[in-house]
């Protein structure tokens, strides 16, 4: 069953469809300028909702895992994965060794805290849902490459690029949007996201 956060996303996209896209799509692809502008609004807001969903799900998983690890110190795959992606490699000084021995510092907790903070910074500075952003969010959580459909990844990457074009260029420089195609693209992305959502729900925190 999809997570509550995914269901929230899906419901929001339905609302956006009703707010911005024609009730019935044109069989000939003929739309008014107002329809096309609203389709652009649909693209931008749907992109924002998908981006927020990914960031929210990831942030909840990693912060819950860290909180629970601090409480019981039981190993968790998500913590180990974070360490492999974000742990800064440096030699341990003599002073640090003395402080560890004296009980004045806990290097393991510091390392896990540091990697958790680093990952949260990645989420805070994320801007988009192109391939690089998707992989930076998902792989450090322990999502395997085999869990991410390559066709879906290509679709969401192209959509992320299209969103950038819509947001940062004049309408005169853009290819006209087809509202029906735009809606179909979002539905395809949501279908793939539901599979990712199921993977995220299986991560033990």
Give the chain's mean pLDDT. 91
Q: 1-44, pLDDT tens digit by residue? A: 999 999 999 999 999 999 999 999 999 999 999 999 999 999 99
Q: List CB contacts of 201: < 8 A, sequence separation 6 or more.
A: 3
pLDDT of residue 88: 61
pLDDT of residue 173: 57
Provide the pLDDT confidence category of residue 91 given band limits of 50, 70 and 90: low
Residue positions counted in the chain: 205
Percent of the chain with pLDDT over 70: 95
More confident residue, 100 or 158: 158
The sign of the dihedral angle between the CA atoms of 21, 24, 25, 28 is negative
Q: 35-75, pLDDT tens digit by residue? A: 999 999 999 999 999 999 999 999 999 999 999 999 999 98
Q: Which residues of 82-91 are buried (b: 16+ CB within 10 A; e: fewer)?
A: bbeebeeeee
Q: What is the mean pLDDT of residues 82-103?
A: 74
Q: What is the mean pLDDT of residues 109-124?
A: 91
Q: What is the mean pLDDT of residues 124-138?
A: 95
Transcribe 162-196 into DSSP letters: HHHHHHHS-GGGSPPP-HHHHHHHHHHHHHHHHHH
More confident residue, 102 or 109: 109
Provide the pLDDT confidence category of residue 145 given band limits of 50, 70 and 90: very high
């Amino acid at each position: 069953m999809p997570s509550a956060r995914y269901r929230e996303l899906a419901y929001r996209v339905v609302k956006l469809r009703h707010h911005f896209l024609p009730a019935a799509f044109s069989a000939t692809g003929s739309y008014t300028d107002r329809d096309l502008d609203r389709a652009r609004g649909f693209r931008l807001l749907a992109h924002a909702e998908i981006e927020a969903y990914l960031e929210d799900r990831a942030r909840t998983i990693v912060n819950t895992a860290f909180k629970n690890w601090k409480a019981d110190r039981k190993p968790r795959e998500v913590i180990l994965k974070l360490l492999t992606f974000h742990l800064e490699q440096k030699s341990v000084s003599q002073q640090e060794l003395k402080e560890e021995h004296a009980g004045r510092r806990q290097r393991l907790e510091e390392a896990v805290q540091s990697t958790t903070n680093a990952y949260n910074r990645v989420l805070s500075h994320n801007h988009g849902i192109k391939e690089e952003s998707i992989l930076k969010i998902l792989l450090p959580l322990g999502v395997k490459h085999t869990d991410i459909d390559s066709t879906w990844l290509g679709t969401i990457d192209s959509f992320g690029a299209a969103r950038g074009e819509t947001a940062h260029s004049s309408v005169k420089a853009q290819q006209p949007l087809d509202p029906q195609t735009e809606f179909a693209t979002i539905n395809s992305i949501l279908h793939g996201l539901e599979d990712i959502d199921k993977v995220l729900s299986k991560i033990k925190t």
